Amino acid sequence: MKLKDWLKRANPLANKEDALSNGDVHDLIRYLETAELDCENVFRVLDQFAEIEVRKEDAARIFPLVREHINECHDCCDEYTALMEVLERAQPLTDN
Ligand SMILES: [Zn+2]
């Protein structure tokens, strides 16, 4: 996955995506703002987007263009919904 390689290069100490620092997130936002946001690019960050959503963090604020694309694109919306189901099932429920 190209984006993960890019993230590792941006911060060699961050081997796991859940170890992302704020600086990484800002770099990621900059990357996303300059990248053309077609389905291929959305698919690349969709797992991270979903992971942020599952953690009840504001993914739409971090990835506004991804959120926008998911709202408008059936393919990406289906993929996102499937990902969320998998992640929510894998995630131990913390609020009960
Ligand atoms: Zn799409």
When comparing pLDDT for 13 and 62, which is higher? 62
When comparing pLDDT for 95 and 65, which is higher? 65
B/e letters for 38-71, b = 16+ CB within 10 Å, e = fewer, are eeebbbbbbbbbbbbbbeeeebbebbebbbebbe
- For residue 58, report the distance from its CA to the centre of ligand 1, in Å: 20
Q: Could you give the CA distance from residue 79 to residue 30 in angstroms, rounded to a whole number?
A: 24
Q: What is the pLDDT of residue 12?
A: 52
Q: What is the pLDDT of residue 30?
A: 73
- For residue 82, report the distance from its CA to the centre of ligand 1, in Å: 14
Neighbours of 8 (CB within 10 A): 13
- For residue 42, report the distance from its CA to the centre of ligand 1, in Å: 7
- For residue 63, report the distance from its CA to the centre of ligand 1, in Å: 14
- For residue 53, report the distance from its CA to the centre of ligand 1, in Å: 18
